[in-house]
Chain A
Amino acid sequence: MTDLKRLYDAILDGDAKTATAVTKEALAEGVNPLDLVTNHMVPAMDEVGKRFECEEYFVPELLISARAMKGALELIRPLLAAQGSEPVARVAIGTVKGDLHDIGKNLVASMLEGGGFEVIDLGADVSPDKFVAAVKERGANLICLSALLTVTMPAMKTTIEALTNAGVRGKIKIMVGGAPVTPQYATEIGADGYGENAISAVSLARQLVAQGSEASA
């Protein structure tokens, strides 16, 4: 039997080759893919987050752990889909119109994936109508908007307005982040929350999804 602690350690250490190899072995042995995600990969990424918050890990370590996690997840994702497993939530993420800076957005996307979310990465310089389409056509129920520049921050507001005008605002939660963005700005433009970094974004996403579930219950 494959020692699944190796998967946890490989993600924590950012060892993509081992993470992929152990996942392959485990799947070949018939281990439930959801078990791999829930009991090994998500806890590993949670530990990565903790180490980041206490400044034991920094951006390079986050990136290599996320890469290891993604490698394993790519093997697992089709199997989860075939099983009909529902993700924690379906997130559409992108940098807003006019903003090409996507390192922060990529990190948030990776950490959300590591946290069990299904991530629809719309990329950089994303127009409001693409976010609307992600909700309407792909079922996204959480929207993450990123901006690095003071001149592109207003595009967060116009994106939220577009989602409101499209009649989908009530079905989704919206969170925002990026260097010049503040909690006050998030409130001003009608977002549901502000994530200071990739780690806090995952906690916030979990909170917002829980709120959404309570509201619809």
Chain B
Amino acid sequence: MNAKERLQAALRHREPDGIPIDFGGTSVTGIHVSAVAALREAYGLEKRPVKVHEPYQMLGLLDDDLKEAMGIDVEGAFPRDTMFGFANRNWKTWRMPDGLEVLISDQFVTTTDANGDILVYPEGDLSAPPSGKMPRGGYFCDTIVRQPPIDDATLNVEENLEEFTPMSEDQLEHIRCATAAAAATGRGVIATFGGTAFGDIALVPAPFLKHPKGIRDVAEWYMSTATRRDYIHGIFGHQCEIALANLERVRATVGDAVDAVFICGTDFGTQASTFCSVKTFRDLYFPYYKRVNDWVHRNTGWRTFKHSCGAVEKLIPSFIEAGFDILNPVQCSAAGMAPEHLKKEYGEQIVFWGGGVDTQKVLPFGTPEDVRRQVLERCEVFSRGGGFVFNSIHNVQACTPVRNIMAMIDAVREFNGITKRDTRH
């Protein structure tokens, strides 16, 4: 099997010749730029600054040579604009606070405040209020909430819709090129088109907009899901209509070059529970997810990818009923998310893309042997009958020991060797 066939088999719940591996395919399955740089060195690859393709979480681009060295089976196609609203064009050199030299878009424009924190500006526009902040000595950004005063008497759904617009021809052309380039690698393709994330709390503050209006404060948004439900329905309803129209144009442009599409990254789980009841999920989110997933399944061969951190076991039946094909990151360390239970209960109905190793404790703080042991256990459980794409539980974070990342990759290979894979790529 080649990489694409391997991914496709896993997505169709058939056992491939080895577990397909994704790193770098999406903004939630990536690797921090410092860890990418460390991996390049550890694998003995050409020493050069790594590109930051996602400047919010500071995710590094995995070039072809590193993907080959790690045995990656998945290629990502990304939308034109980053979380800060600019495109990854005209790479410039930039130094991380720890001194690591990286390449980043020349529209990644920063200032440093009195505290030594680095401020980032939407669309690289210094005349707009900064929308991101990297704390002094930090490794990635967080959003700066810019919440105008809220007056319920005049609050208008339109104000929360600025980011949901028909795709421009340039954006569409970017998607065409990105998807074609991803497909040309021969790997399986996961694409992020944008616009289909309903209430993703990372997107609510809109770090990509210069002057966001409506409800943009994180706590205010969460409260609004309980107190202003009609308003939220209003946003989601409009967003859904626009997203479906955009998807139709994207489909016409990329066709079946795409194997999976990242639909939504809204987190529904905390470490111990869910952010809302199943009833709220089914009232507030389910109808829109169902419309999007149904459209994708009716019109394309794409598999739909849902990211949600945390203890979401109680919501998995609803995710499945809403038409999601893939769950990520499969946070096994959260309550009720034991791998054996998930595989037994839901393994035939949803693909687990993630869950390969814990990134809160084992990968950053364990020994290489701890990593190996957990990866082998997870592969054993999740790979039965296909339906598993190997990835760590969310992005590999900064400061993760490179020997542990390599131990993780080696362990997947060890497992795949046991299953007597014929060839790799």
A interface residue numbers (CB < 8 A to B) = 14, 55, 58-61, 63-64, 67, 97-101, 103, 106, 125, 149-151, 179-180, 182, 196-197
Contacts and interface: CB of A to CB of B under 8 A. Distances in A.
A196 B272 CA distance: 8
B397 A150 contact: yes
5 contacts: A67-B223, A98-B135, A99-B135, A125-B115, A151-B398
Contacts of B219: 63, 103, 106
Given A149-B397, A196-B271, A64 B226 contact: yes
A67 B272 CA distance: 23
Interface in B394-408: 397-400
Contact of A58 (B136, B137, B274, B360): B274
Interface in B266-316: 270-277, 280
B272 A59 contact: no
A58 B275 contact: yes
Given A55-B273, A180-B361, 18 more contacts: A55-B277, A58-B275, A58-B276, A63-B223, A64-B226, A64-B227, A67-B223, A98-B137, A100-B135, A101-B142, A103-B219, A125-B117, A150-B364, A150-B397, A151-B398, A151-B399, A197-B272, A197-B273
B121 to A, nearest CB: 17
B139 interface: yes
B322 to A, nearest CB: 19
Contacts of A59: 222, 270, 275-276
Nearest to B142: A100
Contact of B365 (A60, A106, A150): A150
A202 to B, nearest CB: 15
A58 B314 CA distance: 14
Contact of A150 (B137, B227, B360): B360
Contacts of B364: 150
Residue from the set A55, A60, A98 with the largest chain B CB neighbour count within 10 Å: A60
B199 to A, nearest CB: 11
Nearest to B115: A125
Residue from the set B227, B280, B400 with the largest chain A CB neighbour count within 10 Å: B227
Nearest to B143: A100
A100 B271 contact: no
B218 interface: yes
A100 B227 contact: no
A10 B169 CA distance: 51
A109 to B, nearest CB: 12
